Every structure is written in C-alpha cells, then in structure tokens.
Amino acid sequence: MHVIVLGCGLAGVTTAYFLREQGAAVTVLDRASGPARETSFANGSLLTPSLADPWNSPGVFGVLLRSLGREDAPMLLRPKALPSLALWGLSFLRNSTQARYESSFLNNVRISSYSQTVLATLLQKHPLQFEHAMDGTLQVFRKQKGLEHGLKVAHFLKQVEIRHRALTREELIEFEPALAPIKGDLSGGIAYPDDEVGNARLFCEALCDVAKNSGVIFRFGEQVLRVERRRKMVTGVITARESLEADAYVLATGSYSPEFAKQLGFRLPVRPAKGYSLTLPMIEAGPRPRHAVIDDEIHAAVVPLGESLRIAGTAEFTGYDQRINPRRIANLLALLRRIYPEFRIDEQRMKSWTGLRPMTTDGMPILGTSPLANLFLNTGHGPLGWTMACGSGKIVADMVLNQRSEFEARAYRYDRFRWGRK
C-alpha cells in the first residue's frame, strides 16, 4: 500500500514513521526545506497531559472581548480576523459550556497520556536525542484564588490518573531554587511529576532520519498546488513538479488543512491561532532553572532545553499573518523578567519565533477518516501538537492500514462536527 502524507511537522513525520513501521510505502510532501520548519519549529516544548485543557473554557467570550486592543493580552483577538472566525467562533463559544469543556479536557488528557506511552515505546527502539527531560513540570500561582482553582483542576484530573503534588511557597523554592527572587510573590504551586519536555524540531529531524533509513521518501521544497478527487475518492496530488498518485492520503498540514479540505469539497473547523516563543542561551549567573515552570497568572511557560531557556505564551487570532510583532516579543521578555528577574538576557543571541496553531472549535484534534474514503486527517491539535504527536501518528497510521488500535479514538473523529459538505 502506498500512502502520501501531506505535511512534515510533528503530525506528518510521526504518521509517516508508524505507517512505514507497519509495512506501508510512504511519501511525505512538504513545501519547506526540511521537517518541522513551521508550527513545530520552536513551540513551547511541553509534553503535558496536565495542561490539556481546551482554550474555550467557560467565560472565554469575555476574555476575548477584553483582549481587543491589548498587546499584552494572553489571548488576543484582532478585528481583522473576525470575518474568518464567524461560523467557527460561534461553534467555539458553543463548546465553552462547563459540560463540553470538561468532556473535551478529559478526552485531551486521555490521548495525551496515550501519546506519552507511544513515545516511550518509540524511544526504547530508537534512543533519539532531542533535549528530552522527564523531570515533570511546575505550575506556580501568585494569588491564593488561582492556587485554589489549580488544585481543583488537579483533583479533577485524578479521575484520568494524572498525578500531582501540592507545594507550599517554601517547597516551591526547594523544588526550583531559581524562583527564590520572587518567593514573596507566590502563594504556592503544583508539581506534575509525569509531564515531560523536549525540543520538537530536534525530535522531528531525528525521527525523519529514522524513517528515511527505513524507506520513507521525503520530498522537501515540494509545493502542493492541488489535491484532486473523483466522487468519494482522492485521485492524486498535483505539485509544482508533477502529479502523484497513491492508495491513501493523510492530511497533516496543520492550520492549512482547511484550504486543502475546501478543494476537496468539505469543511474543516480549524482556524490558526498565532503563538510566540523566545529561545535564549543559559548564562552562568546564579541558579539555573531546572524545571519547566508555568506561571498561572501571566499565562507563560519557561522551559529549560539543554543549554537554552525557552519562554512561550500568548495566542493571537490574526488569520494567517505570520509576521513577528515586536510588541508581542517585548511582552514575552517582560513575562520572563517577572518569573526570573535575575536571569541574564543576551538579546544579541535571542531567537524569536512565531507559528500558527491549528485550533478546532472544541479544542480536540481531528483524527482518522474524512468524507472521502481514502483521505485521513491528522490535524487540529492547537497548542497540544507536541503533547499528542506520537499518539496521533500511531492512531492515524492504524486507521489508514485498517489495523486494530489499542486506543479508542471515536471521540476525535471528523464526523463529530456538523459542518457538512461545502
């Protein structure tokens, strides 16, 4: 069986690997010069089932309204994006009821935990190097009200076996000494010992090499112009170079998946949410951060990655605009200084990045079958693409090859939406 995978970010490369592992002939097409050159390039680096909550939590409408015109808003809605978000936005808000939010949260945690298991198995077979650390994450809270809500969430997650440990202010500093300068600003924290971190780009590059050595064909710099169909089947892919055909096709193009779906006559409820990150070198001066820290109040994550420190946070609904906004970068630097005020910042060696997260209206990914018999979907992971990558790739590969999966993936199917055909 020959399968063409469109996209070579986390979703594409993991799907290609698991397809080939089960014997399929695989060709991967990507317009970039190599794997993970777009959304997967410099993401927040977190593999965190504990943070698998959808963004459309109850009250999100008010959050978005208050964000208008505020460059420091954690979730910023730009007016120019409103026309493209009309129908999508209504569904997004409809899914922000408490019941739907909790259901999506638990489903996200389940696939995130499964993905961790798949990654662990993969690493036993291929000990990839990607600045991977299994030291857990630390959520810190500046206000008692925030801490109480965080503990409520932690207890909610116990039903899906997510372990946590509540920490006093003193225990926080013992756990992460680099937080000592802001000890007086903190109320407490929660440690999630089973969370992980890792460099997604390095992972994709390493897994791409493994897949290539096993026979997967990667065609980079290959612009896909059109995907063609006849009746209920995809019949081929037209690139800038030639026409290609396969038995099955996997759409793993992130925020650009809806454009291909539109060509094929159906709608995907996925819209881009722009995220930012900064990567800075560690400089020997005082305690070096040892753990990934997520600051609940300022909505930022700071993650040690090898000899670097990455800070990520904020989301911006601004369509497909991928320009780096200096004010958003300045905001990330300000957030970093609030968490680690004594961290020495070398702005000459600082690397800024932005990418588009593919967001669905219910905060869960879309995996598996589509309205076309031989087209399969692996998209819509939002900010959780890294956390869910290996599990999603394995699930979709199993579906393509009609293999029985050890994971029940019914909740993530495309047909849960009512968007229908164009």
* 418 residue type, one letter: R
Instruction: Check residue 60 and give its pLDDT.
Output: 77
pTM of the model: 0.94
Joined tokens for residue 83: 């026309």
Beta-bridged to residue 272, according to DSSP, are 358
Q: Tell me which CATH code domain 2-416 carries.
A: 3.50.50.60
Q: How far apart are CA 99 and CA 8, in angstroms?
A: 35
SS3 string of 125-141?
Answer: HCCCCCCCECCCEEEEE
Q: List phi, psi (to 5°) of 213.
A: -65, -25
Instruction: Name, in order, each residue with C-beta under 8 angstroms of 104's C-beta and a sequence gap of 6 or more.
Output: 54, 95, 362, 363, 364
Instruction: Check residue 313 and give its pLDDT.
Output: 82
Q: Say whether 359 sits in a helix, a strand or coil.
A: strand
Convert the pLDDT of each residue in 76-127 to its tens digit.
666 666 666 778 888 988 999 999 999 999 999 999 999 999 999 999 999 9
Exposed, middle or buried, 332 (CB in 10 Å: 0-12/13-18/19+)? buried
Low-confidence residues of the chain: pLDDT under 50: 420-422
Convert the pLDDT of each residue in 284-301 to its tens digit.
656 789 999 999 888 899
From the list 255, 251, 356, 219, the residue with the least C-alpha distance to 15 is: 251
Instruction: Check residue 348 and give its pLDDT.
Output: 85
The pLDDT > 70 percentage for the chain reads 93
Q: How far apart are CA 66 and CA 60, in angstroms?
A: 10
Boundaries of every domain in the chain: 2-416
DSSP string across 315-350: EEEBTB-----HHHHHHHHHHHHHH-TTPPP-TTS-
Which residue pairs from 401-410 have beta carbons closer than 8 angstroms and sit at least 24 positions apart in sequence? 401/1, 401/19, 401/22, 401/23, 401/24, 403/22, 407/111, 407/114, 409/111, 409/367, 409/368
